[in-house]
């Protein structure tokens, strides 16, 4: 995904050049694919392994705003690279995990978090599914209870009598000839 908002193509180039580039890209894909996921994080070197681990965790938990279903660690978008660099700078300057998260939320909103905080505006998000499950469960319970009640209903004395009469009478004309 690119940083372009509406246009899917890059800098102006003739369609022909573009198709050649695309074709070349497709043909070389099997060669490049195994490397594609790895190269973006390699360049960020930390002397402290704990910081390196924190960087990895953070970029996986933060969401890229351009490719909205990708984390900062996984996105190839230009903006994701800028934000990775910013996270790297912040961590290198001694900022804590929470300070980095606050920095990004202040500028981009809760949207950058894959794990949104619990607050009034996110109540529907957190409790909506529980509420739905509760309503569904209640509905199921009521339906099942009604069914059982209907089954357990006893016959009245009059009906009992009629039932016995029907069972006892073998020569009744309503009986099938088969």
Partner 1 sequence: MGKTLKFLIPLALFAGLVALLFFGLGTDPRKVPSPLVGKPAPTFSLPALGDPGRTVSNADLLGQVSLVNVWASWCYSCRAEHAQLMRLARELKEVQILGLNWKDTEADAKQMLRASGDPYRVSAFDPDNRAGIHWGVYGAPETFLVDSEGRICYKKIGPVEPGTWETELAPTIDLTTKKCKESRS
What is the 8-class DSSP label of residue 169?
-
Q: In DSSP terms, which residues pair with 71 in a beta bridge?
A: 63
Let me know: does 110 contact 122? Beta carbons within 8 Å: yes
- The answer to the question of residue 7 lying near partner 1 (CB under 8 A) is yes
- The answer to the question of residue 99 lying near partner 1 (CB under 8 A) is no
Identified binder of partner 1 from the candidate list 54, 61, 70, 86, rule CB under 8 A? 86
Binding mask 112-151 for partner 1 (x = CB under 8 A): ----------------------------------------
- The answer to the question of residue 79 lying near partner 1 (CB under 8 A) is yes
Binding mask 45-74 for partner 1 (x = CB under 8 A): --------------------xx-x------
Contacts of 9 by beta carbon, 8 Å cutoff, 6+ apart: 18
Burial class (CB in 10 A: 0-12, 13-18, 19+), 2: middle
Residue with tokens 């903006």: 79
Identified binder of partner 1 from the candidate list 107, 147, 162, 164, rule CB under 8 A? 107
Closest among 59, 61, 64, 56 to 1, alpha carbons compared: 64
Q: List contacts with partner 1 (CB under 8 A).
A: 3-7, 10-11, 65-66, 68, 78-79, 82-83, 86, 105-111
């Amino acid at each position: 995904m690119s940083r372009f908002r509406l246009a899917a193509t890059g800098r102006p180039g003739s369609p022909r050049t573009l198709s050649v580039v695309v074709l070349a890209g497709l043909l070389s894909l099997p060669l490049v694919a195994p490397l594609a996921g790895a190269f973006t994080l390699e360049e960020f070197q930390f002397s402290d392994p704990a910081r390196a681990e924190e960087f990895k965790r953070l970029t996986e938990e933060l969401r890229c705003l351009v490719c909205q279903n990708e984390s900062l660690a996984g996105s190839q978008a230009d903006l994701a690279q800028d934000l990775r660099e910013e996270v790297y700078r912040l961590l290198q300057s001694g900022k804590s995990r929470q300070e980095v998260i606050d920095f990004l939320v202040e500028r981009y909103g809760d949207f950058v978090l894959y794990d949104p905080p619990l607050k009034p505006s996110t109540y529907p998000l957190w409790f909506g599914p529980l509420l739905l499950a509760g309503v569904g469960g209640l509905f199921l319970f009521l339906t099942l209870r009604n069914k059982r009640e209907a089954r357990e209903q006893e016959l009245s004395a009059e009906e009992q009598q009629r039932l016995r009469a029907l069972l006892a009478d073998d020569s009744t004309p309503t009986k099938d000839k088969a």
